[in-house]
Structure 1
Amino acid sequence: MIRKIGGFALSLLLLASVAVAEDRGPVTNLPLPRFVSMKAQEGNARRGPSLTHRIDWVYTRRNMPLEITAEHGHWRRVRDRDGAGGWVHYSLLSGVRTVLVEQDMLQLHLRADNDSPVTAILELGVIAQLGSCDKTWCELTAGGYGGWAPKTALWGVGPDETRE
């Protein structure tokens, strides 16, 4: 009887480690999915993870936030805000975090509070550098201006993600 309980506990432990392993990239051991940005001014998104695969999409905006959903060798499968994407060579990507503003005339506030003074207003589609985030607000910098914005108005940060 003790062996069965011990074996059952071991099985649960193995299942838990498999579940954790599925949430990590097999190449980098970093979390999947995760957000990155385009380091290059231009980058091809291919149908598969090699130069022989057809180009499906060309990203032409430096610092564009992208979400990595898979890894294979030197290639990362990415998707953009619209769900378009493909396989991109890792050298075209950066770990610098950026977000895409999804609300027109988004007000940046001095503090993470709607009642605090407005420091800047960002247009729809602006790419901003991502700073700290709490449960509902993120600190942004764009065009030399900075402030806090509601997380719901941004693409490129997870809904439950917090950052120091």
Structure 2
Amino acid sequence: MVAAIFAVSLVLSQGARAEEEKRGAVTNLPVPRYVSMKTSEGNVRRGPSLTHRVDWVFKRRDMPLQITAEYGHWRKVQDREGAGGWVHYALLSGARTVLVEKDMMPVYDRPDTNSQIAAHFELGVVARLGSCTADWCRITAGGYRGWALKSNLWGVDTDEIRD
């Protein structure tokens, strides 16, 4: 009986440790996490160094990206479609943005579908991310600000709460 309890507690503590280990080896920040492109152009390389081949170029300032790994000054990132590679950290910003995933997405004055619609955002719009509740995020783009359903946005986790 004592051995069974010890085994269960060992498994639980290893699970908790695994959660703690999901941090970047370089920054000690959570991995995966979202960031945005600081520049309007950024080379995406096959590996984490200048000697690795450039596979393509991200060409959208403020585009949200997800960091999935770290190595020295390099971050492995992916976009909404899962395309990615290694980008130098100087090309990335901690400023949070999101990508609108629904065409003509309503943006509300308050986090309530019965509130007044402040604007409609087109599919693919990049917006600055503000606070988030369980289901809603406050976003800003093109001079418009309001609340959008989190399920219509890429660049924020479904369980993420932001103040």
Q: Normalized against structure 2, the TM-score is what?
A: 0.92
What does 1:78-117 align with in structure 2 at a 5 Å threshold? Answer: 78-117=77-116
Q: Which residue of 2 aligns with 1:77?
A: 76
Q: Which residue of 2 aligns with 1:149?
A: 148
Q: Counterpart of 1:88 in 2: which secondary structure?
A: strand
Per-residue CA deviations over 1:134-159 (Å, capped at 9, x if unaligned) read: 11110000011100000111100001
Give how far 1:17 is off. Answer: 5.9
What does 1:48-87 align with in structure 2 at a 5 Å threshold? Answer: 48-87=47-86
Q: Which residue of 2 aligns with 1:39?
A: 38
RMSD: 1.9
| Cα distance between partner residues in 2 of 1:87 and 1:11 | 36
Per-residue CA deviations over 1:96-132 (Å, capped at 9, x if unaligned) read: 0000001000111000001100111111110000001
Give how far 1:20 is off. Answer: 3.1
Q: Taking structure 1 as reference, are residues 72 and 21 closer, same or farther at Cα in structure 2, changes over 3 Å only?
A: farther
Unaligned runs of at least 5 residues, structure 2: none
Give how far 1:8 is off. Answer: 6.0
Give how far 1:22 is off. Answer: 2.6
| Cα distance between partner residues in 1 of 2:13 and 2:134 | 32
Q: Counterpart of 2:51 in 1: which secondary structure?
A: coil
Q: Which residue of 2 aligns with 1:138?
A: 137
| Cα distance between partner residues in 2 of 1:8 and 1:83 | 38
Q: Taking structure 1 as reference, are residues 26 and 17 closer, same or farther at Cα in structure 2, changes over 3 Å only?
A: farther
| Cα distance between partner residues in 1 of 2:132 and 2:57 | 30
Give how far 1:57 is off. Answer: 1.9
Give how far 1:95 is off. Answer: 0.3
Structure 1 moving runs of 4+ over 2 Å = 7-18
| Cα distance between partner residues in 1 of 2:55 and 2:20 | 30
What does 1:118-137 align with in structure 2 at a 5 Å threshold? Answer: 118-137=117-136
